[in-house]
Amino acid sequence: MNNNPVLARVWRGNLVESQHRGAVAVVHVDGRRAFELGDTAHCYYPRSSLKFIQALPLVESGAADHLSDAQLALSCASHNGEPLHCDMVQQWLSELSLDENALACGPSLPLHLPTQHQHLRNGDDAQCHVHNCSGKHCGMLTLAQHWGVSIEGYGAYEHPTQAAWRQRLGELAQLDADALPWHYDGCTLPVVALPLYNMALAMAQFCTPTPAMTRIRTALAAHPQCLAGTGRLCTDLIRHSDARVFSKVGAEAYTAGFIPELGLGFALKIDDGNFRACDVAVAGVLRALGLTELSEHEALQAYFAPTIRDSRERAVGHIDLGEIWPPAPGRGSR
Mapped onto helix, strand or coil, the DSSP state of residue 311 is: coil
How many angstroms separate the CA atoms of 283 and 34, rounded?
16
Domains and CATH numbers, the chain: 6-321 (3.40.710)
- Residue 68: C-alpha distances to residues 165, 188, 214, 226 (Å): 21, 26, 14, 12
Kind of pairing, strands 254-259 and 190-192? unpaired
Among residues of the chain, what percentage have pLDDT more than 90?
95
How many angstroms separate the CA atoms of 107 and 124, rounded?
11
- The H or E element that residue 270 is part of is strand 264-270
Number of C-beta neighbours around residue 128 at 10 A: 21
**pLDDT tens figures, 59-95:** 999 999 999 999 999 999 999 999 999 999 999 999 9
Number of C-beta neighbours around residue 312 at 10 A: 6
Query: What phi, psi does 145 have (nearest 5°)?
Result: -65, -40
Judge if pTM exceeds 0.85: yes
**pLDDT tens figures, 296-332:** 999 999 999 999 999 999 999 999 999 888 887 765 4
**Angle 160-173/196-204 helices, nearest 10 degrees?**
90
What single string gives the DSSP state of each residue in 48-64?
GGGHHHHTHHHHHTSTT
